[in-house]
Structure formats: C-alpha cells, structure tokens
Amino acid sequence: MSRNAFLAALAATFMLPDPSAHAQGGALERRLASATRVECRFEVLATGDWNGDGASASVTKVDREASFFDIDVDGGTAEADGPFGTAFIVVRYAHGYLHFLQMSDAGPLHVTTVLAQETSGGRLKAVQTRHEYAPVALPGFTSRPEMYIGDCAVT
C-alpha cells in the first residue's frame, strides 16, 4: 500500500461516525421533534450596536430564562411566556433544530433555537436572538440586537 493510500485509509478510519454518538443524536432529535414544553436558561449575552459607520459587540454574563409550552411541532404552533403575558408563536423542527419564532406587532423578531446536542444533565444547547433597535438604550429592555447562549430542558 502506498503512503498516500495508507494515510487516506487512516484518515477515513478516524472520520467514521461513532455509532453510539449517532444513536444518542437520533434520540435527542426525536426528543426535540416530540417536545411539548421547553424551559431555557441563558448565561451569556452578546449585544450589537453601530458606532458611526462601524458595528461593534459586547459580551456579558446574564441570568435570563425563556419558556415555551403547548408546543405542536406538526401544527407549527406554540406559546411563549413573556414579561407582558403569553404570546402565540410559530415553531418549526428541522434535522436536529427546534426553532421558535416570535414576531411582535411592534416590529421586533425573537428567534430561539434548541439544538439536538447536550450540555449537561440532559439539557440541550440553545441560542436566542432578539432583532430589535431603539434610538435610546434603556437598562433592562432590549434596545439593540442581542444573542443569548445557554441550554434548555425539553419535555
């Protein structure tokens, strides 16, 4: 066997998927596809802004929660708890990603995505983005684009 063929065979061996990881991934995907309730906690926040002609971002630690219930993946609907009550939202599952889309009549769009990848304790990785902008930044309110990183419990 030539050196190049040996190296190619060796590389292929290490690139083969781990069967147990695939089985676990399939179970996590099924769990997401059949979710009826999702409770998330986010610990890191990246906030974007524009300064003159350029864009910038800052990263801080946060303690933020979000919950979704009455999830009907097949029907594409769910409800979300929020500071102003419950909101009816769109839900979509696709290949290991569970997306929640919340569009406000006032303009903002919030997207939460839960991934079929574990963090710890059976929780799954999650990202939430908030597409908002207000001329004045008010502490405690979303007034600039935000991205939260955390995890969720899925039932």
What is the pLDDT at residue 3? 52
Average pLDDT for 84-103: 92
DSSP string, 88-128: EEEEEEETTEEEEEEE-TTS-EEEEEEEEEE-STT-EEEEE
Query: Does the pLDDT at position 33 exceed 80?
Result: yes
Higher-pLDDT residue of 96, 11: 96
Least Cα distance to 147 among 67, 64, 45, 52 occurs for 45
For residue 40, pLDDT beyond 80: yes
For residue 6, pLDDT over 90 is answered with no
Which of 127, 115, 131, 35 has the alpha carbon at shortest distance from 77?
35
Percentage of residues of the chain with pLDDT beyond 90: 64
Residue ranges per domain, the chain?
3-154
Residue 47 CB coordination number (10 Å): 19
Mean pLDDT of 28-42: 96
pLDDT band of 43, cuts 50, 70, 90: very high
